[in-house]
Amino acid sequence: MAMRVLVVEDEPQMAGFLARGLSDEGYVVDIANDGEQALSLTTGVEYNLVVLDLQLPRKDGLTVCRELRDQSFRAPILVVTALGGDCDVVTGLNAGADDYLAKPFDFAVLLARMRALLRRSRHLRSDMLQVSDLLLNTVDHTVTRSGRVLNLTTKEYAVLELLMLFKGQILGRAQIAEHVWDEGFDPLSNIVDVYMNRLRKKIDHGFDRQLIHTRRSEGYMLSEDAPDSPYV
């Protein structure tokens, strides 16, 4: 699974634009056309992030936001609205939104905000990340496997942390690069593959159970389960 985003937007043109743009960036995108549909979709599917328009039919965005948080929905919510004014920002944040973007917005800005939220969302979770016998402490940045301390560089740690946050999900090379190298990354560079090879040596070398899995055309995944045959 790639990172999954729910876009709640009632204007078909805007919804289509966001769906295409985010799909091109490697996200799996679902669209909800109104507030009720947004709430029903989130009960059945696990989303990594929600982009939420405030002016919606059937149930407005603020109510959707409050109800999601009341249901202990933990993924980041990015509110997008045509309404201006500080009041909306405060109301949105009080309702449980994590960030706010006013329409019209630049798509690149939306992407940057989404990436920041996805990075930050780890703080809502536990300090310790675990996949099988691999343990990562997000506070002091120590990593152990079967109790043995692994010495990782800062970048190796950042790549591993991302893979552990999204364990069991395929992360594309561009997604990994965007999270770890930020701006100025050359998309044609093989730096992600280089780092994944180094990580594999440090994490999987000498262990029977391989945790890092490659899907050639799509990217990498960290999982304790042996994946289906397209993986190597």
Q: How far is the CB of 82 from Ca ion (least distance, A)?
A: 7
Which residue bears the tokens 């029977």?
208
Question: Residue 55, interface with Ca ion (CB under 5 A)?
Answer: yes
Q: Are 158 and 179 in contact (CB under 8 A)?
A: yes
Question: Residue 10, interface with Ca ion (CB under 5 A)?
Answer: yes
Q: For the CA atoms of the chain, what is the radius of gyration? A: 19
Q: How far is the CB of 176 from Ca ion (least distance, A)?
A: 33
Nearer to Ca ion, 53 or 98 (CB): 53
**Near Ca ion in 144-163, by CB under 5 A:** none
Residue nearest to Ca ion according to CB distances in the complex: 55
Nearer to Ca ion, 85 or 206 (CB): 85
Q: Are 95 and 78 in contact (CB under 8 A)?
A: no
For the CA atoms of 137, 139, 142, 145, the dihedral, rounded to the nearest 10 degrees, stands at 0
Question: In the set 25, 29, 53, 131, which binds Ca ion (CB under 5 A)?
Answer: 53
Question: Residue 25, interface with Ca ion (CB under 5 A)?
Answer: no
Q: Please report which helix (H) or strand (E) contains residue 129, including its range.
A: strand 128-131
Q: How far is the CB of 33 from Ca ion (least distance, A)?
A: 10
Instruction: Determine how β-strand 4-8 pairs with β-strand 49-53.
Output: parallel
Residues in the site for Ca ion, rule: CB under 5 A? 10, 53, 55
